Structure 1
Amino acid sequence: MAYLTLLRPKQWVKNFLVFVPIFFAQDFFGKDKIWQASLSFVVFCFIASTVYIVNDIFDKKTDQNHPKKQYRPIASGKISIKAAIFMATFIFSIGIILAYIFIPKAIPLLLIYVFLNLIYSYRIKHIVVFDVLLVSVFYLLRILIGGFATSTPISSWLILCVFFASLLVIIGKRLGEQGQLHKRVVLQYYSNDFLRQLLSVSSSLVIASYGLYSILGFHLGDHPDLVVYSIFFVVLGVFRYLYLIYSSAEIEYPEKLIFADKIVFGSIVSWVIYMFFIIYI
């Protein structure tokens, strides 16, 4: 059980972003495309878990002083550093082998993802602003890997929307962590006012970029003019998330909060259903 926890399977939900390119390319029901996207999801789960293990190795000492992270397998001593390194090497090898066999086009981006994460764990996560920007890039790389793996072009508008939405999630997480007694080192350089300003900017960019995309950049389906009304679900999700940042103790774990909060989850599901009907029906 400790080894499964070490892989952080709850974090794999973020890897569903690899399906976004084929969804917006009207190829979601193409057998070859959905197969390649599914393979890229599996491969990325292996690669991402490798990164999580490496990050836990780097953060062992700080995690031991954290009220929740102290129970992670490496921080608690359930899994030794040596065993964790072996595990990371093993699953990374599986991921790269699968990528080489089934989605070789995605290998360069997978290696870039790993390299950037190593830099992040070693240094960048301690540098103000760069830390949140780089984590947002990690979300964006999931989209790009999905596009490369399936040979699907990705709209520039889509890249902007995902990047700004990732920024919103990460900055909200940082603000939620700010009030904790044991927090990441970089937060000592962030003030609450600065984080709130970044939050306002990122939430505005999400709504503005998506609004412009819905008017200027969306040309799929028989009724592309209807996509502008999907802004309701985006605004609802953003505003609710902003509310939760200031009212929920679970904001430190947005991947949990998205499913736990009925309004946020409902806005996402409603947006997906609405967009599905516009693109495919």
Structure 2
Amino acid sequence: MRPGQLSFLEPPEPSGDVRLSAPLDARSPLRRAITAFHEHLLAEGRSSNTVRAFDSDLRLFQRYIGPHVVIGHIRYADLYGFLRWLRHGRGVPCNDKSLARRITTLKVFYGWLAASKVVAQNPAAQLEHPHVDTPLPRVLSAAEVSQLLSATEALRRDPQSPDARPHLLATLLLTTGLKKSECMALTPADIDTTETEGVTLFVRYDSARKRHKERRLRLPPGFDTLVDEYKSQYRPVSHLFECTARNLEYVLDTASRRAGLPPRRACFEVLRYTCALRDLRNGMEPERLRLKLGISDITWADTLERLQRLNTPVL
């Protein structure tokens, strides 16, 4: 590494006149604020990929602004100038998706500075994300959700060979928006049926770097009865679903076909985005939805923009 070059995962060594223990204020140099933000991300347990992405973007910002400029002197015009430089002055291609990510970095960085009372105003609040031509996620319509749940409920009530697993899985995904990996990591103990306010799910992570994604989610009324039926049929011990991910994909595909839907219409990703869109339409605040889905700040802007495009009225 060259002297003076910022590392992706290790903050630069402060010079003698920069002390990380002293509190930040509006007179602190940008270089020191970026280092403090790096430490904040690590303390929050953000993944190495997220920290690398923020560090990379802020290193570019520091290169443009200058490391010794005090953060209180940086205005909206400076941020806008930085974005124009990325587009037209840097000499390196910068597409809409990369630009949107760097805008998100500035918004999160200055949002943290404002929340920490380091700066009185957030100059990044006015920045707008460019329209990114990313394919819209596939989701189920309300009628398709009803068809799917009717089909899985029929399997659950089958007089010859009742099977609660398809209905448990479909209900779980449509309610929580879990990722496939999160679903596969669940244990029977992660579903708490003892709370008086209702059944809850604890999404856990073994990796310390991903602990910030852990969350407790509310499950629908009657889920305790459903999970008891499932446990009596499958007797799970170490994991809630003691099978392969491919097997669960087959369970969803079979339920999709029985519901009269096209093959693979009801897969993990489709049900995750269907859950997210339903919550958005029901008035859930975007930040609460981000936390529910376990999505990092840096990728949330693109996800939210696509969900909002899905949520626009039909013309």
Same fold (TM over 0.5): no
Q: Give the TM-score normalised by the residue count of structure 1.
A: 0.29
Q: Give the TM-score normalised by the residue count of structure 2.
A: 0.26
